[in-house]
Structure 1
Amino acid sequence: MSKLPGDSIESRVLAIEENIKDSDTWRRLEQVCNVAPETDPAQLSRDEEFWSLIARSIYEPEGPFLNLNHGSINTMPIPVIRAQEAYTRLCNELPGYWFFEGFNTHREKLREKLAALLRTNPEEVSIQRNTSSAMETAIFGIPLSAGDEVILSKQDYPTLVYAWKQREIYDGVKLKWVDVPLPSEDDGELIQPYLEAITEKTRVIQVMEMFNWNGQIVPAEKLRDKIDNDDIALLVDGAHIPGQLPVNLEKAKYTYWGASLHKWISGPVGTGVLSVRKDWISRTKPLFGASDPKSDNIRKYENFGIHNTPKDLALHTAIDLFNLIGEENKRQRLHYLKNYALERLTEIKKVQIKTSLKPQYSCALGMFSIEDIPSEVVGHILFDQHKIYNVAPVWGGLDGVRISPNIYHGTADMDRLVEAVNKIAKA
């Protein structure tokens, strides 16, 4: 990184942004992406040369391991790494400023950028560290009394389940568990369990907009439309949505919505967001102390101590990079790669696919299993013998190997996975 000009704090930040976008790496990406607006995203998703150029432009070589677990944490592109490094050096010159006043000064620009990404009002956007942080802020802040009912599924994310069980223990709320059929290609089948569980005592419905286990997309907006009681809060786990699917929170009007930005936006590790509908902010208490906990100011949810300012500043770069590649281009490519792998896995005897191939029900995440072989064993063999990194979750009745490729992968990488699974199935 070249020496940054200027003496003012603001000029230093602007200089870092300019240096990143004047770099050879960024310019190469711009040249590659110039062809994208003229090409149909579905057609572009199958263009191996285009995506290979993207990979070489902004990603470092993967090395001996094939990383098919981007669902947990995405690989950061080179410009995001360089931005975080530059901001870390800058903040280290004056840490007392940057981790207090500096964050307060620059977080409003980030809030506006996040609001644009999520298509919502900046005054409903809270900067968080991850989905669990965002969702648990809502879970522990929702006003509930003993006997109030909360509907959630047996397949919900573990940390959120544990949080609700704490409220059950300490506050006496009643948890009503539903079983969501996974996978499914029927909207009614996906939302009906929640609707059938509603009673006059229901106060909260928690739903995963995309199940992290097998990538199942749930039509959360259709569920919202079916709830005819304004006193029921709809808490939506959108952990995997940004970067995979278009987001329009202004239209969705969920009560609460939380997501991670170190997944499919490829932001720095430890970046997330919470959205709270404006009319619910004043009645939802903050998780950490705030000077006015009953206010309708979304910023009251951000008082969790020192923020990691360099990663928050570098998130700007990640969002700009995502926008440059194109929301629909990325969605189509991720869906194509996952389907490419699963379609070929279906041809292997004993392999069972546990994810829909339809775009309205899945995107980047896929799950499979091999008959008579525990998925955990399959996962270990893939990693130890074939150097393919994956996860093999067992939770809520699901048991399988999850794959989640990235845009820098190619069909040859998916062929490598298929070949390895074929060997395991035949062994």
Structure 2
Amino acid sequence: MSTRRTFFRQLGAAAATPLVLPDFLTESTRTAFQRLQKPGSPQQIAQDEDYWSWIKAEFTVSPNILNLNNGGVSPQPKTVQDAHIRFYQYCNEAPSYYMWRILDQGRESLRAKLADLAGCSPDELAINRNATEGLNTIIFGLTLKPGDEVVLAKQDYPNMMNAWKQREKRDGIKLVWLDLKLPSENDDELVRQYAGAITSKTKVVHVTHVVNWTGQIMPVRKIADLAHKQGIEVICDGAHSFAHLDYKIPELGCDYYATSLHKWLCAPFGSGMMYIQKEKIKNVWALLSSPEPDGPDIRKFESLGTRSFAAEMAIGTAVDFQLGIGAARKFARLHYLKNYWAEKVKDISGVRLFTSLKPEFAGALAVVGISGMAGPELEKQLLETYKIHTVPIILGPVDGVRVTPHVYTTPKDLDRLVVAITELAGKQNLATKQKKS
């Protein structure tokens, strides 16, 4: 235990230096790091509770409330918190000097670190505050004329849908809406829905990688290939997929992409990044003021004025934490946790799952409902009676709560959820029978 804690503390302390160094581990911390890399397939490690106890011990989550809304925003491990605090205190010694002349110089090494994790060039990544900022920058920055068509879905994220509606109202573009049939375990059918909406006037297809309403993994690459064959550009919303699924951004085939790093990467709140293929950067106008708003440099999107340099620099520690676990192991664990509880409740009378159990179609996020009980009421009962925090979801036929575990969640935690759903479903079934009688 002391070796583990020493390792993580040194990990955070080393990353919380004015300039992020590429190699900082001492011999003792390397030994602890190797323990995190114990042999075994991702699927084997996914069920190794001794291994994941190492990870859980790094989080300072409440022992009283079971947080199963990590999809909204994830807690940060202690190493990331420590790095953030240290950078913050450092800035306060002489803010304008340490922020602008010292920490601001660390952005390039951080950009390179994120680019390595994302599998792209540093010159294709802008560091910002969240997926909404990144995607809105792209949506408002693209040159579109009246009559140009954009294909998107009613299951996309509201902030992005509203941005497109604003462009429709302001610029006279046409929005073509899909109503996806979810959950789905048929990529070809999903692709056909997008194919059927494309016309000669389509300029952009907007697709969400992991749908926040249901946890559905969308076949982004197949949709992108379809669109590109017809000269259409693709925007991908990666808010719920980055550091959750095991992939590199270029593998998606999209032209534009953005994500929030305070979700699955467990970076400080209000941190995100945007990706644009290098040759496309000049085609997107900077959202805020820039000396060359239509230039080819990705850094034109980072003219945000004063922002939290401390939070930004601590992203590097979150990247180290991610690398310590490994993308394949992390996804395998998250999918295992989702299926652990979902398999136990799916056959209970009155319980409905709105998410696939197959790893090709869903990871950690899943939505569960109880017949006769609206999502907000189920969320209320889980919180008030069982101290389990979820989020209500109502969208078309989907009516329930979204359950999102993370790497610090244990099967024992999820047993609490199973008990709660079992009891609530039983009470609802009894009430339904009594009404009928």
TM-score with structure 2 setting the length: 0.90
Distance, in Å, in 2 between the alignment partners of 1:15 and 1:241 is: 26
Q: Are residues 1:402 and 2:402 paired? A: yes
SS, match of residue 264 in structure 1:
coil
Distance, in Å, in 2 between the alignment partners of 1:179 and 1:373 is: 24
**Contact 1:99 1:306 survives alignment (8 Å):** no
The aligned amino acid for 2:167 is R
* TM alignment of 1:134-283, pairs within 5 A: 134-229=134-229, 231-283=231-283
Q: Are residues 1:33 and 2:36 paired? A: yes
Cα deviation code 1:94-153 (max 9, x no counterpart): 211233333441111111011101100111111010010110000000100111111100
* 2:352 aligned partner: 352
* 2:43 aligned partner: 42
Instruction: State the 1:54 CA deviation.
Output: 2.2
Instruction: State the 1:315 CA deviation.
Output: 0.6
* 1:5 aligned partner: none
Instruction: State the 1:22 CA deviation.
Output: 6.9
* 1:118 aligned partner: 118
Distance, in Å, in 2 between the alignment partners of 1:157 and 1:86 is: 34
The aligned amino acid for 1:114 is L
**Contact 1:351 1:425 survives alignment (8 Å):** yes
The aligned amino acid for 1:33 is L
Distance, in Å, in 1 between the alignment partners of 2:97 and 2:148 is: 45
SS, match of residue 391 in structure 2:
coil
* 2:312 aligned partner: 312
The aligned amino acid for 2:365 is L
**Contact 2:238 2:258 survives alignment (8 Å):** yes
Distance, in Å, in 2 between the alignment partners of 1:295 and 1:189 is: 39
TM-score with structure 1 setting the length: 0.92
* 1:298 aligned partner: 298
When residues 193 and 308 of structure 1 are mapped into structure 2, their CA distance, relative to the original with a 3 A threshold, is same
* 1:13 aligned partner: 18
- The gaps in structure 1 that reach 5 residues or longer are 1-9
SS, match of residue 136 in structure 1:
helix
Distance, in Å, in 1 between the alignment partners of 2:235 and 2:35 is: 39
Distance, in Å, in 1 between the alignment partners of 2:384 and 2:352 is: 22
Distance, in Å, in 2 between the alignment partners of 1:352 and 1:75 is: 28
Distance, in Å, in 2 between the alignment partners of 1:220 and 1:396 is: 23
Between stretches 208-217 and 302-311, larger displacement belongs to 302-311
Instruction: State the 1:409 CA deviation.
Output: 1.3
**Contact 1:16 1:83 survives alignment (8 Å):** no
**Contact 2:104 2:309 survives alignment (8 Å):** no
Instruction: State the 1:305 CA deviation.
Output: 1.6
Aligned residues: 413
**Contact 1:29 1:54 survives alignment (8 Å):** no
Distance, in Å, in 1 between the alignment partners of 2:296 and 2:20 is: 35
SS, match of residue 227 in structure 1:
helix
SS, match of residue 392 in structure 2:
coil
Instruction: State the 1:227 CA deviation.
Output: 1.9
* 2:379 aligned partner: 379
* 1:72 aligned partner: 72
When residues 34 and 178 of structure 1 are mapped into structure 2, their CA distance, relative to the original with a 3 A threshold, is closer
Distance, in Å, in 2 between the alignment partners of 1:32 and 1:413 is: 24
* 2:92 aligned partner: 92
Distance, in Å, in 2 between the alignment partners of 1:167 and 1:335 is: 37
* 1:3 aligned partner: none
Instruction: State the 1:306 CA deviation.
Output: 1.4
When residues 322 and 111 of structure 1 are mapped into structure 2, their CA distance, relative to the original with a 3 A threshold, is same
* 1:132 aligned partner: 132
**Contact 2:19 2:105 survives alignment (8 Å):** no
When residues 206 and 29 of structure 1 are mapped into structure 2, their CA distance, relative to the original with a 3 A threshold, is farther
Instruction: State the 1:302 CA deviation.
Output: 0.9
**Contact 2:19 2:103 survives alignment (8 Å):** no
* 2:425 aligned partner: 425
Q: Are residues 1:81 and 2:81 paired? A: yes
The aligned amino acid for 1:47 is D
When residues 205 and 341 of structure 1 are mapped into structure 2, their CA distance, relative to the original with a 3 A threshold, is same
SS, match of residue 92 in structure 2:
helix
Distance, in Å, in 2 between the alignment partners of 1:208 and 1:12 is: 36
SS, match of residue 401 in structure 1:
strand
Distance, in Å, in 2 between the alignment partners of 1:225 and 1:402 is: 31
The aligned amino acid for 1:418 is V
The aligned amino acid for 1:162 is N
* 2:333 aligned partner: 333
Cα deviation code 1:318-370 (max 9, x no counterpart): 00011011111111000000000110111321001110011110111011100
**Over aligned residue pairs, what C-alpha RMSD do you find?**
2.2
The aligned amino acid for 2:307 is H
